[in-house]
Amino acid sequence: MTKSVLGIIGGSGIYELPGLEKAEWVKVESPWGEPSDELRIGEVGGMTVVFLPRHGRGHRLSPSDINYRANIDVLKRAGVTDLISVSACGSLKEELAPGTFVLVEQFIDRTFAREKSFFGAGCVAHVSMAYPVSPKLVDAIEAAARAESIRHRRGGTYLAMEGPQFSSLAESHLYRSWGCDVIGMTNMPEAKLAREAEICYATVAMVTDYDSWHPEHGEVDITMIIRVLKDNAENAQRLVGRIAKDFPREHPACPVGSDTALEYALMTAPDMRDPALAEKLGAVAGRVLNRNDG
């Protein structure tokens, strides 16, 4: 089996995790451009944990300015096998009150200004996104949430919008009519790219507000969001700390094939592949690109 390396994408309240040993900031180069920041790599109980500030230290990058391809590429280069996205979101359901951690199972991608694939002209690949999160990884998150008595719900659909503006009232009602549970700006194309890189992925969506649909809460108030974010930070730290402590040291095979997503995905014949693109794909797709059978 492969040694587990746990990756976390989140904010400063996460990567300053108490108990993280031998931690250092490491710059990892990517052929896909600049990632959001350096990686903070350390150990918890002897297991390597890799943190990436999604918006960069100091929150320098808006959701649309994040280089999602470079972020996933450097995490893959750092050996990450299992990646947990910790991100703020709005609630589209009455019962998902601010402070609830939602363990998302599905996504609807409404973003439009982002590069969404490592593949393209010269090397075409199609991966399945039917089941975008790894069930065993979600099992680990759920067990940690229960152990730490953190209010959570397993399951739900995350609507990814472009931003950086919040939803109009009409949009908020539309997304509720689709049956979506939470709304955010960052988990797409992150989840798609993690799938292409054969990294098991899961989302902890931390509810900060009721978007703009709730008649008793009105429009999104950034000061309210910041206040709830601070309240969520302590729970997020405890959750991540528990996950890292209890996580299997040997990476278990993913039952929905997250870690083998490229097995039959490449469509371009080996002798027709663009060498320059193939070289850029070395980290995320080397397992299949380097096989003799193509």
Sheet strands (E) in the chain: 2-3, 6-10, 21-26, 39-44, 47-53, 82-91, 101-103, 106-109, 152-154, 157-160, 182-184, 200-209, 250-251
82 belongs to the catalytic site: no
Q: What integer is the mean pLDDT of 143-151?
A: 97
Binding-site residues for substrate, in ranges, read 185, 209-211
75, 98, 180 from 203: Cα distances, Å:
16, 17, 15
Global pTM value? 0.95
Average pLDDT, integer, range 234-254: 93
Residue 256 CA to residue 240 CA, distance in Å, equals 23
Give the closest residue to 118 by CA, choosing from 279, 6, 290, 294: 279
The answer, yes or no, to whether residue 67 has pLDDT greater than 90, is: yes
Q: Which residue in the list 82, 211, 221, 271 is annotated as catalytic?
A: 211
220 against 236, higher pLDDT: 236
Share of the chain above pLDDT 70, in %: 95
* Integer Cα distance of 36 and 192 in angstroms: 18
When comparing pLDDT for 1 and 256, which is higher?
A: 256
Residue 95, φ and ψ in degrees, nearest 5: -75, -10
Q: CB within 8 A of 13, min separation 6: which ones? A: 233, 234, 236, 237
Set out the domains of the chain in order of their start, with CATH numbers: 86-287 (3.40.50.1580)
Collapsing DSSP states into helix, strand and coil, what is residue 293? coil
DSSP 225: H
Q: Binding-site residues for phosphate, please? A: 12, 54-55, 87-88, 186
Beta-carbon contacts of 218 under 8 Å, excluding residues fewer than 6 positions away, are 212
Mean of pLDDT values over 8-20:
80
Which residue among 73, 209, 231, 271 is the active-site one? 209
pLDDT in tens, 168-211: 999 999 999 999 999 999 999 999 999 999 999 999 999 988 98
Per the annotation, binding residues are: 12, 54-55, 87-88, 185-186, 209-211
Instruction: State the pLDDT at residue 211.
Output: 87
pLDDT digits (tens, 9 = 90+) for 213-230: 876 665 556 677 777 777
* Dihedral sign for Cα atoms in the order 75, 90, 98, 147: negative
Interatomic CA distance for residues 207 and 97, integer angstroms = 7
Amino acid identity of residue 131, one-letter, is Y
Structure tokens belonging to residue 50: 């890799």
Dist. CA 184–CA 93, nearest whole Å: 14
Whether residue 229 contacts residue 88, with contact meaning beta carbons closer than 8 Å, is answered with yes
State yes or no: is 211 an active-site residue. Answer: yes
> In this model, does residue 10 exceed pLDDT 70?
yes
Residue 220: the pLDDT is: 56
Task: Give the span between the Cα atoms of 240 and 35, in whole angstroms.
Answer: 22
Average pLDDT, integer, range 275-280:
97
Helices (H) and strands (E) in the chain, counts: 8, 13
Ranges 24-38, 142-156, 228-242: which has the least confidence: 228-242
Spell out the residues 6+ positions from residue 234 whose beta carbon is closer than 8 angstroms to its own. Answer: 13
Which of 6-15, 85-94, 219-228 has the highest mean predicted lDDT (pLDDT)?
A: 85-94
Residues 6+ apart with CB under 8 A from 243: 6, 84, 140, 141, 144
Model confidence at 26, pLDDT cuts 50, 70, 90, reads: very high
Minimum mean pLDDT range among 132-141, 159-168, 285-294: 285-294
What does the pLDDT read at residue 40? Answer: 95
